[in-house]
Each structure stands twice: as structure tokens, then as C-alpha cells.
């Protein structure tokens, strides 16, 4: 998976890549430090960035579903604790 140039700000872009089963493409944006951590884990595991992100989603999705929607929170600020 190719990594694009830095966007405005400190985020890096993961270039769109189509899988063999899904022809849709999607760009995902990560803070530079997070992308570096994902790259390091992918190298350690000898896996692709895509595989690491997909596994992370599968492991965490039940916890993420427990989070309140922005419509459920007074003030509705996204990423308030980051």
C-alpha cells in the first residue's frame, strides 16, 4: 500500500487501494504519529497496513459501538478527549 504525501497539517494520507473482492476505493487520514505506529506494528507483524487497520477495527468495534453519538452528548464536540 502506497503512502501519499503529507496533507496540509500534520496528517498523512493512505492512498486508495481496491481489494480483489471490493472495487470501491477509500482514502483514510491518520495523524502522522499514529500512522508511524501502525507502520511499525505492520512491520513487526509482517503484515500490510490495511491488515493492521482491519484487525484493529474488528477488535475494537464493540467498544466503539458503546460510545455515545455526537447527538447524544451535550455540546457534541468530536474528539474532545484527544
CA distance 30 to 23: 22
Using alpha carbons, select from 14, 34, 50 the residue that is nearest to residue 82: 34
The pTM of the whole model exceeds 0.75 = no
Whether 6 shows a pLDDT value over 50: the answer reads no
41 within domain boundaries: yes
Per-residue pLDDT for 2 more than 50? Answer: no
Could you read off the pLDDT of 69-82 as tens digits, one per residue? Answer: 988 877 655 565 55
Give the domain range for residue 9. 3-16+26-66
Number of domains in the chain: 1
73 within domain boundaries: no
Q: How far apart are CA 10 and CA 75, in angstroms?
A: 26
C-alpha cell at 79: 474528539
* pLDDT tens digits, 17-68: 555 677 688 898 999 999 999 999 999 999 999 999 999 999 999 999 999 9
Residue 53 located in a structural domain: yes
Which is more confidently placed, 39 or 6? 39
21: phi then psi, degrees, rounded to nearest 5: -100, -25
Amino acid at each position: 500500500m502506497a503512502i501519499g504525501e503529507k496533507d496540509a497539517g500534520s496528517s498523512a494520507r493512505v492512498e486508495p487501494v481496491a481489494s480483489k473482492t471490493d472495487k470501491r476505493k477509500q482514502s483514510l487520514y491518520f495523524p502522522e504519529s499514529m500512522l508511524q505506529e501502525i507502520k511499525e506494528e505492520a512491520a513487526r507483524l509482517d503484515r500490510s497496513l490495511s491488515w493492521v487497520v482491519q484487525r484493529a477495527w474488528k477488535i475494537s468495534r464493540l467498544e466503539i459501538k458503546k460510545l455515545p453519538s455526537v447527538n447524544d452528548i451535550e455540546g457534541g464536540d468530536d474528539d474532545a478527549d484527544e
